[in-house]
Structure 1
Amino acid sequence: MPSTAENITDNAQLDAWLDSRLDELLPAKLEEIDASKTPSMSIIATKGTLDWAYPPFILASTAAALGWKVDIFFTFYGLLLLKKELDANVSPLGNPAMPMKMPFGPKWFQDFDWPMPNLLMAGVPGFEKVATGLMKKTFKNKGVATVEELRSLCLEADVNMIACQMTVDVFGFSPDEFIPEITDYVGATSFLPVARKSDVCLFI
């Protein structure tokens, strides 16, 4: 095969030479383009309980720290995570995978998984508040940041937080109820093109 275009004498040789050069140069060029691109991630946050508040903020703050562009679309109950007064609770009821750990006492006591039947959780007044307090205490003991702290980290890292306008309207919320950093109130039509272009898209 000719080594340069000047040595080519017919179209077949030209096609073969072009194919060879493309096979040689294209992978490296594509790799170079990919390496220069800023990774992006879109998260759809739909839940407002304490246990489900952590994943979107942890993932978003971590990605932002790595230099990624991050957008979070808060819709339905996830919209509560944007309120000024964040009062997220956790309910073990209907969540059999949730371990009940005690954040106090000797190590063997803290490591024990306490079985809590649904009937007990549903029948004891204030059990949800107790479970919320236990989870917060456990997280604090393990050095895990609070949801408010993680949310602040995301804001400092320029994570773009978007409120679902339809949810705001349906639940009768007012923009005054949300943290002032939230300026984008849009619907799915506006968010989906953003998610489509993202390298990573998560539904939480």
Structure 2
Amino acid sequence: MNACGMVDAAAEAYADEAPSAREERLAAAFARGDEAGLAAAYRAWAPLVRALAWRSLGDARDAEDVTQQVFVAAWYGRHGYRPQRGPLAGWLVGITRRKIADALAGRTRRAELTAAAGAAAAVRPCDPAACPEAVLDRLLVRRELVKLPPAQQTVLRLAYYDDLSQTQIAERTGWPLGTVKSHARRGLHRLRENLGTWPED
């Protein structure tokens, strides 16, 4: 059995316990950095996180992005979770609310930037029928972005869609700045390879 299979099997073992015992054991495993605990936590609470994000954002892709960000942030920030202070689900919901707020703020910033750019240029927004190359480029980038490992996706989405600096990304995710830079570098390298061309840093 490979490593992923072992993690899946260990995660499934949590499902055989009584709910209260399972949640306590799962939370303890998660807090100490057990990957099976992460896998089990994702299976147990990703639907809740996704539903909360969908209800606030009204967009399936944005809800999926928030779900991914929540579990990445929770995993890297797990040292801050204390089982004795409350259930893991409640802690995850708290992170979800912050990520939803971030997503809504990002939408507002993007809308303001779009409006400002449109006013400055004094031109109508690009009609997809009139500039198919730009639409195709966006679709190609989006298609290749989702193929990247989750951490690289998160860093690049925050950098290019939320317009955050690497320092801001480190603060938001709880990752060391060096880790953020590494994910950004590897992610951009893979995008360049897959797309053929990509703007230089």
- Which has the larger helix fraction? 2
Flag the structure with larger Rg.
1
Same fold (TM over 0.5): no
Q: TM-score, normalised by structure 1?
A: 0.21
- Which has the larger strand fraction? 1
Where relative contact order (Cα < 8 A, 6+ residues apart) is larger, the structure is 1
